Amino acid sequence: MRLCRIMRPDDANIAGNVHGGTILKMIEEAGAIISTRHCNSQKGETCVAALARVERTDFLSPMCIGEVAHVSAEITYTSKHSVEVQVTVMSENILTGARRVTNKAALWYVPLSLKNVDKVLEVPPLVYTRKEQEEEGRKRYEAQKLERMETKWKNGDIMQPSINPDRQTKEPYTVSYSQSTLIHLVGPSDCTLHGFVHGGVTMKLMDEVAGIVAARHCKTNIVTASVDAINFHDKIRKGCVITISGRMTFTSNKSMEIEVLVDADPVALHSQERYRAASAFVTYVSLSKEGKTLPVPQLLVETEEEKKRFEEGKGRYLQMKAKRQAQIDAVPQK
């Protein structure tokens, strides 16, 4: 399955490259199409594939305005109630024909009945060309399932809004100085035909809030370097008021990690309380006007909770650093 479109000026971030949230939205659209097609490939109850999780996504190369984005998606594993989709994004310079990979992502979808969107249906089994493909896919499925359970245990965490919105009275480089919140009323243009928010819309809003936090902390141009696993805990209905909150959790010499939480308030449904809809960690880097990486001001942690989150972020950073080094070491030397 392949999607493509040219990148326009309204897709740009302040640095002039394509907004990371725009790319995430295209990735999700491709995943939703191919997984919905597969889940309706056999006779039975019709359904729509809903995004449940996005694995870590690295932004390998910036995409520029005027280039064509080619988004290709492939189903790589199915369990009884979920579908794994691998997506690759390539940019094409239409003047020279040059192409490069900008993003790779893995997404998990679940099929929801059109008659009852709270009912999860069974997924038609995928036919594998090699036995190893199914075994490798099962390992990925079990790993993401365990991580989702761990995230659910943390869902009681509340990000309190800043008491004093005047940043001139706060010390720079603290968590409270850069913490940001966006409130959005979910309208028809945000939703599928069935009245639920597109996963890509949520991801774009999350990236925007994380970008504001990063820009406030650095006061420079910033770009998305990677998005850690995004977990979608519950559906967001049309008419909900969603609050997207972001706070700095960790800084290394050249990167910063921002935690983003999405809470939904179904204002029209008095019987339902506000709930956690999604959560993620986003990593940004600071850039000069020439596009070169700049040092990141170190985060000043003040409370015990902030210190705890900083150490957890440091653990994630070191773990990913070690994983990248292992991948480099595994490449045969010429």
Along the 334 residues of the chain, how does pLDDT read in single tens digits? 899 999 999 998 777 789 899 999 999 999 999 999 999 999 889 999 999 999 989 899 889 999 999 999 999 999 999 999 999 999 999 999 999 999 999 999 999 999 888 899 999 999 998 989 999 999 999 998 888 777 665 555 666 655 445 555 578 999 999 999 999 999 999 998 788 999 999 999 999 999 999 999 999 989 899 998 899 999 999 999 999 999 999 999 999 999 999 999 998 766 678 999 999 999 999 988 887 899 999 999 999 999 999 999 999 999 888 887 777 776 666 5
pLDDT at residue 311, as a whole number: 96
CATH number for the domain running over 2-140: 3.10.129.10
Single out the catalytic residue among 11, 190, 207, 263: 207
> What is 175-330's CATH number, 3.50.50.60, 3.10.129.10, 3.40.50.150, 3.30.470.30?
3.10.129.10
DSSP-derived secondary structure letter, 18: B
* Cβ atoms of 284 and 223 closer than 8 Å: yes
Q: What are phi and psi of 73, to 5 degrees?
A: -130, 145
- Residue 50: CB partners within 8 Å, gap ≥ 6? 109, 110, 111, 112, 196, 199, 232, 235
**Out of 11, 13, 228, 231, which one is annotated catalytic?**
13
Element (H, E) at 52: strand 47-54
Rounded Cα gap, residues 104 and 40, in angstroms:
26
Report pLDDT for 216. 95
pLDDT of residue 166: 57
**Would you give the DSSP letter of residue 89?**
E
- 210 contacts 57 by C-beta, under 8 angstroms: no
Q: What is the DSSP letter of 9?
A: G
**13 a catalytic residue:** yes
- The whole-angstrom distance between residue 330's C-alpha and the CA centroid of its chain comes to 28
CATH 3.10.129.10 domain locations along the chain: 2-140, 175-330
Active site residue 116: no
